[in-house]
Amino acid sequence: MAFAIEFFIRRLSQGLLIVLLVAFVIFTLLRIAPGDPIRIILGPMATATAMEETARELGLRDPIPVQFGRFIVQVASGDFGHSFIRGKQGGASGGSQDGAPDLSQRASVMDLILTALPYTLILASLGLIFAFLIAIPIGLAAGLNAGRWQQKLGLYISSFFVSLPNIWVGVVLIYLLSAKSGLLPAIGYRGIAYAIIPAIVMAIEMSPILIRAIAVSIAANVQEGYFNVGQVRGIPRSKMIYRHVVRNAAVPLLNVFSAQMIGMLLGGLFVVEYIFSFPGIGLLTINAVFQRDFPIIQAVAILASAVLVLINILVDFASTTIDRRLKF
Amino acid sequence: MKTTRRQFLAGTAAVGVAGAIGVPSLFSQAFAQASNTLIFAAAGTVTGSWDPSSHTVAPQITAEGFLFGRLTHCPMTPENPGEILPDLAVSWSQIDEFTLEYKLREGVTFHDGKPFTARDVKATYEYASDPSRPASAWYPGRVDVEVVDDLTVRLSTKAHGYPALNFWYVSSFLPILCADDVANPDTLKQRPNGTGPFKYVSTTGDQIAFQAFDGYHGGKPAIENLIWAYVPDANTRVLGLMNGQYHLTERLEPEQYVSLSKEAGIKTDRSLSSENKYLHFRCNKPPFDDVRVRLAAFHSIDRDQVLAIVGEAGQASNCHLSPVKFGFTDVEGYPEYNPEKAQALLAEAGYPNGQGLPEIEYITSVGFYPKTREYGELISAMLQEQGFPVKLTTLEPAAWEEQLYRRADGQGPGHIVDVGWITGSPEPDLVLRPNYHSQFALINGINDPEIDASLDKERNAPNTEERLKILQTETLPLIAAKAPSISLFSSVFLRAMSNKVDGVTFLPNGPIDLRKATIS
Amino acid sequence: MTDIPLSARPRSRSVAHRILAGAWATTEMKVAFFIFAALAVLTVVAPFVIDASATKITVADRFLPPIFMEGGRYPYLLGTDQLGRDLLLRSLIGLRNAFAIGIVSVVIMFVIGCAIGIYSGYRGGWVDVVLMRITDVQMSIPVVILAITILGMSRPNAFTVIAVLVLASWPAYARVARSVTLAERQKEYVRAAKILGASDLRIMALHIAPSILPSIAFVAVLDIARMMIFEAIFGFIGIGIQPPTPTFGTIISAGTQYLLNAWWITIVPGFLLALALTSLNLMGGVLERSRNLVLQGQL
């Protein structure tokens, strides 16, 4: 218990520092990048004085560290501010050409994210389920049969899947499964069926890592002494695999799951949501980038890195506990 | 506020279709859809303010088409572009050079129940023509309105020094607001209150709900609920129409139009719009500050090929005005594709074969207008062939809009910009003055005393016949010869709708007339 | 150099050699290499052999299907796009561009990442702490978010695309290089060099780097493929290299509009890209396995 508390305090404080730095990097990047949000808020015909006035009112002309400090204080109280572009009801609205906008009339960033989050979670979990459905049988077979055709098959399939650009797979599946045959709906979201094709695309993207990780860690365990010892002792092979190999292999698998998978999952979600106009956080963010909607972008970036950091901590914690349990 | 069962149904339909919004709809496969509801998949959306004088945004003008009444109504058909029908005014006449008189319709009420009178016209026109209002560009100038009696108004331009006739057509484009709202601009912003066939109910995410107005002076529309769904992607709009999610959609790509024409259960509509597509030159910086270089570029572009690519979505026209605009004509001497001439002009300007020209940036948008990327690549290639070192920049509409207009310092980014210009009235000055008069020249920055003089001359013409003559024989040929911009072609609007929908009329500037429409 | 005992020198050349030899012994490597080499040759030769153009717009020849379908005709072997340009040539040029971007960005991120990683691992102390925290920060921003933030805000070109890819991916190399260096630092030959008075820079550049880099370099082949996919994604979203330069992303995204009428515009280039990437990934996979075997001393 003491270990756990110490572990979490240490790692969480490190993590907080990292997230703060990420926030600062993104915050600065957005403010030095070309493209003026004021012009989008006010519309193309706004006068220079009106633009300057609004910029000052929104605090966009203060030094960046000042803006950042103000922002962090806000975030600490759970407020990510208001969208520059979206109205209270969440819809994008065109640029007002009529004086300074009343930001309290705009949507709260947190609300926008919370509205989009369930869709992203559905897609992510469905994608992960599909990915495991693909990867577990192939990975297990490859790991248990090192040097045989199953291992080669694993290599071929993962090399092939990792070579398929998600944008292309997405479009091909829309063409085959939706436009041509009408089997499944594809664009937007009106029910869980709309998540199936995007989830398949995600699964194809993620499964190669899983296949490899499963195959490698299973193979490593099979080679280890205890496996043979167990078999010599008369424990059935299937039982050995089920009881020990799979469990031991779970540790390196968890590690893969942390860093690479979550990064990939997040990246994949963005692109896939964009292809399928799937109303999750990715689409929200890509639209925000095109609309220079700073508050949304920085909130998503900060939350994404926080998730990444947090999952890393949890995985590290989980793997140490599993490890200890495994010590005979 | 009392919620009727009908409103409640409209609400559920909105949430169900929204999909994008609201967790309750997350797992609902089937979604409630009140019968008599028409769902319109729109390519654009409204701004944050419902005040019509606060913007010049085309999609919101389309939305205002449902909500507001105007003094007159112009169907703008190519056969009879000058036709004016009554709306809130039943008759109109010219009293003298500086005065127009409108007799108003009796018994009209606003959506909030207030009666419509001359007072409302006065409040609206005097408020919206104030130069500090962002959309005052639509007004030919400031105007004073005299309330003769409850149902008679006189527009007077005497104090502002231009003929009142300029309102003849423009009055069909200016929405009439309620005087009480004008007195309190905050309510004006928050909700629209017009005399139009539909009234505003609510906004949920990217969906706006409207409801038929019981008290509409032309009779309550048969379509009870109207939902405006903002769907920014053309493919999504089409797929949604094909699977029954939407009933009506706009701004189709030509190929989509062709394949939807063959689709059972869907009918298509194709009509000439009041929009022309332009390539504006930035005329206040090199190399396009030289008219010879502009003309050389003009002569380098084979507009037949551009039209071949635009296909169904375009119609050839040799004029800086759309064929549904007053004053349109096949302009004599409109520059044609002629590489030899282009070379001669380039050489004359000191850039033989394009040598010495700076890199030229061509800025266009992708996603709103059909085929802009495709013909942008084509035009870049044609210009390059004549020696123009062109670089094409394609931008998402929001980013493009940011680059479009000249900045406070008078300069705009890039050298050539692709844009359409669309207004809901046959009035030509809604196109010509903002674009070619040095006082505005919003995009190209042309500053040419001859053009200014000619524009003032046609505006100040004593009568319509005289004005038409000046426009067709002087102003438009002059603009073609000075080439501050190239008018590439006239846009044809391609729309599609479900077979269940009948009786829809489309106006050439986007708005959709659903007064007589039905859905089964 | 001559004052270091020969036996203490890293057997870098032979490590690289053994990895390559081990990989080449497999059929997969040979097949993948052959496919890749064939594609590479095609991208260079095809524009001279095929009597069509990747950039010349021929409005009359728009939407021609591949030659094996009804309506297809020579010289458009795989059909034409929405502007009548030859799809095969466009795809091949797109492949060439994607490969160039992939290889340049991987080389740069490899050099930067490994230099920082070796330095950090060799020096240790606060330098190490600071550098590794920087990589922590970098790795906590998903690549796509970083890319759309930077590229979506400016006007992207080949240079900015490469810069973003490098910015997003160097930390992974720094991490690996650092951890290998930490182990390598303890080894006999490094200590020997140190005792003999070699400077730190010299040790890092001439001793550690040659012994650890080959094994990292072979795995970098996989990253070339990854970067090519990113390049395609950027193009698809519209934040990659701008048209008219053919890139996979822009060809595919422009083609999605015509999916119902002219599916080949989207499908054909994707096949070519997938083929190229599969061969690259297969080579990378085999090389990686061969490296692992070599490092485990089994080869």
Render pLDDT for A88-144 as a digit per residue (tens, 0 to 9): 666 666 555 565 556 666 788 888 899 899 999 999 999 999 999 999 999 989 988
* B23 CA: distance to closest CA in chain C (Å): 25
Closest Cα in chain A to B54: A98
Considering the domain boundaries, does residue A239 fall inside one? yes
- Domain span at residue A150? 112-322
- A28 shares its domain with A157: no
Written in H, E and C, the secondary structure of A152-171 is HHHHHHHHHHHCCCHHHHHH
Considering the domain boundaries, does residue A328 fall inside one? no
Across the interface, whether the CB atoms of A168 and C225 are under 8 A apart is answered no
- A38 shares its domain with A131: no
- A21 shares its domain with A45: yes
Give which of C33, C135, C143, C144 to mutate to test A binding, by max A Cβ within 10 Å.
C144
CA distances from C256 to A174, A273, A283, B249 (A): 10, 16, 18, 19
* B192 CA: distance to closest CA in chain A (Å): 15
Chain A residues with CB-CB distance to B49 below 8 A:
96, 98
Angle, in degrees to the nearest 10, between helices A294-326 and A246-256: 160
Considering the domain boundaries, does residue A271 fall inside one? yes
Position B134 scores a pLDDT of 73
Which domain-ending residue is among A68, A83, A107?
A107
Checking if the pLDDT of C298 tops 70, the result is no
> Between B and C, how many CB-CB pairs are < 8 A?
49
Q: What is the mean pLDDT of chain C?
A: 85
Across the interface, whether the CB atoms of B373 and C57 are under 8 A apart is answered no
* A83 CA: distance to closest CA in chain B (Å): 12
Position B3 scores a pLDDT of 33
Per-block mean pLDDT, blocks of 10 residues, chain B (520 long): 33 32 34 70 83 84 94 85 90 93 95 95 94 80 93 94 88 93 88 94 86 94 92 79 86 87 89 93 94 97 94 94 91 94 96 94 87 92 94 78 77 92 85 87 92 92 89 96 96 93 88 90
State the CB neighbour count (10 A cutoff) for residue B20: 27
Considering the domain boundaries, does residue A327 fall inside one? no
Considering the domain boundaries, does residue A268 fall inside one? yes
Among the partner-chain residues C57, C254, C258, the one whose CB lies closest to the CB of B373 is: C254
Position A96 scores a pLDDT of 56
- A157 shares its domain with A284: yes
Position B13 scores a pLDDT of 31
Chain C residues with CB-CB distance to B366 below 8 A:
238
Chain B residues with CB-CB distance to C55 below 8 A:
381
- For CA atoms A231, A235, A241, A246, the dihedral sign is negative
- Is residue C94 very low, low, confident or very high in pLDDT (cuts 50, 70, 90)? very high
- Is residue A257 very low, low, confident or very high in pLDDT (cuts 50, 70, 90)? low
Q: Hey, is the C-beta of B134 within 8 angstroms of any chain A C-beta?
A: yes
Across the interface, whether the CB atoms of C137 and A22 are under 8 A apart is answered yes
Closest Cα in chain B to A280: B20
Closest Cα in chain A to C140: A305
For the ranges A303-312, A316-325, B261-270, which has the lowest average pLDDT?
A316-325
Position A93 scores a pLDDT of 60
Token representation of residue B253: 């790509």
* A23 CA: distance to closest CA in chain C (Å): 9
- A57 shares its domain with A125: no
Q: Which of residues 219 through 258 in chain A touch C, CB cutoff 8 A?
A: none
Across the interface, whether the CB atoms of B408 and A91 are under 8 A apart is answered no
Chain B residues with CB-CB distance to A189 below 8 A:
19-20
- A241 shares its domain with A166: yes
Checking if the pLDDT of C1 tops 50, the result is no
Token representation of residue B133: 């209002």
Position B433 scores a pLDDT of 87
Question: Tell me, what's the ipTM?
Answer: 0.87
Q: How far apart, in whole angstroms, are the C-alpha atoms of residue B506 and residue B269?
A: 9
Position C157 scores a pLDDT of 86
Specify the higher pLDDT residue, A243 or B361. Answer: B361
Among the partner-chain residues B46, B207, B398, the one whose CB lies closest to the CB of A40 is: B398
Strands B225-230, B37-42: pairing is: parallel
Q: Are C254 and C81 in contact (CB under 8 A)?
A: yes
Closest Cα in chain A to B133: A98
- A302 shares its domain with A172: yes
State the CB neighbour count (10 A cutoff) for residue A32: 9
Dihedral, CA of residue A44, residue A48, residue A53 and residue A55, to nearest 10: 60
Q: Hey, is the C-beta of A300 within 8 angstroms of any chain C C-beta?
A: yes
* B392 CA: distance to closest CA in chain C (Å): 7
For the ranges A255-269, B171-185, B217-231, C131-145, which has the lowest average pLDDT?
A255-269
For the ranges B231-240, C118-127, C259-268, which has the lowest average pLDDT?
B231-240
- DSSP SS3 for B29: coil
Chain A residues with CB-CB distance to B236 below 8 A:
187-188, 277
Q: Which of C175, C177, C203 is nearest to C189 (CA)?
A: C203
Q: Hey, is the C-beta of A157 within 8 angstroms of any chain C C-beta?
A: no
Position B21 scores a pLDDT of 33
- A103 shares its domain with A116: no
- A301 shares its domain with A158: yes
What chains are in contact with B, requiring at least 3 Cβ pairs below 8 Å?
Answer: A, C
CA angle B185, B187, B193 (to 5 degrees): 110
Across the interface, whether the CB atoms of B374 and C244 are under 8 A apart is answered no
Which domain-ending residue is among A107, A140, A158?
A107
Give which of B12, B15, B25, B26 to mutate to test A binding, by max A Cβ within 10 Å.
B26
Chain B residues with CB-CB distance to C243 below 8 A:
373, 377, 392, 394
Checking if the pLDDT of C98 tops 90, the result is yes
Q: How far apart, in whole angstroms, are the C-alpha atoms of residue B13 and residue B209?
A: 9
Give which of C129, C139, C149 to mutate to test A binding, by max A Cβ within 10 Å.
C149
Q: Are B509 and B322 in contact (CB under 8 A)?
A: no
Instruction: Write the DSSP symbol of residue C69.
Output: S
Closest Cα in chain B to A34: B399
**How many residues are listed for chain C in this entry?**
299
- A191 shares its domain with A88: no
* A234 CA: distance to closest CA in chain C (Å): 30
Position B31 scores a pLDDT of 39
State the CB neighbour count (10 A cutoff) for residue C254: 22
Q: Hey, is the C-beta of A48 within 8 angstroms of any chain B C-beta?
A: yes
State the CB neighbour count (10 A cutoff) for residue B307: 18
Chain C residues with CB-CB distance to B260 below 8 A:
none
Number of structural domains in chain A: 2
Across the interface, whether the CB atoms of B48 and A93 are under 8 A apart is answered yes
- Is residue C299 very low, low, confident or very high in pLDDT (cuts 50, 70, 90)? low
For the ranges B27-36, C42-51, C245-254, which has the lowest average pLDDT?
B27-36
Considering the domain boundaries, does residue A229 fall inside one? yes
Across the interface, whether the CB atoms of B20 and A279 are under 8 A apart is answered yes
Position B402 scores a pLDDT of 72
Checking if the pLDDT of C196 tops 80, the result is yes
Token representation of residue A102: 């009343």
Chain B residues with CB-CB distance to C244 below 8 A:
377, 380-381, 392
Between the two ends of chain B, the Cα-to-Cα distance in Å is: 30
Buried b (16+ CB within 10 A) or exposed e, B327-359: bbbebeebbebbeebbbebbeebebeebeebee
- A127 shares its domain with A247: yes
Token representation of residue A93: 């609205």
- A101 shares its domain with A177: no
Checking if the pLDDT of C259 tops 50, the result is yes
Give which of A120, A187, A281 to mutate to test B binding, by max B Cβ within 10 Å.
A187
Q: Hey, is the C-beta of C295 within 8 angstroms of any chain A C-beta?
A: no
Beta bridge partners of B476: none
Checking if the pLDDT of A196 tops 80, the result is yes
Instruction: Work out the average pLDDT over C153-179.
Output: 88
Among the partner-chain residues B21, B48, B235, the one whose CB lies closest to the CB of A187 is: B235
Q: Which of B346, B504, B404, B444 is nearest to B57 (CA)?
A: B404
pTM of this structure = 0.81
Chain A residues with CB-CB distance to C149 below 8 A:
26, 29-30, 33, 289, 297, 301
Checking if the pLDDT of C249 tops 70, the result is yes
Considering the domain boundaries, does residue A178 fall inside one? yes
Q: Hey, is the C-beta of A162 within 8 angstroms of any chain C C-beta?
A: yes
- For CA atoms A287, A290, A291, A292, the dihedral sign is positive
What's A137's domain CATH number? Answer: 1.10.3720.10
Q: Which of residues 116 through 155 in chain C touch B, CB cutoff 8 A?
A: 155
Closest Cα in chain B to A86: B48
Q: How far apart, in whole angstroms, are the C-alpha atoms of residue A189 and residue C279?
A: 36
Token representation of residue C11: 């057997």
Give which of C31, C35, C141, C264 to mutate to test A binding, by max A Cβ within 10 Å.
C141
Which domain-ending residue is among A107, A137, A152?
A107
Considering the domain boundaries, does residue A185 fall inside one? yes
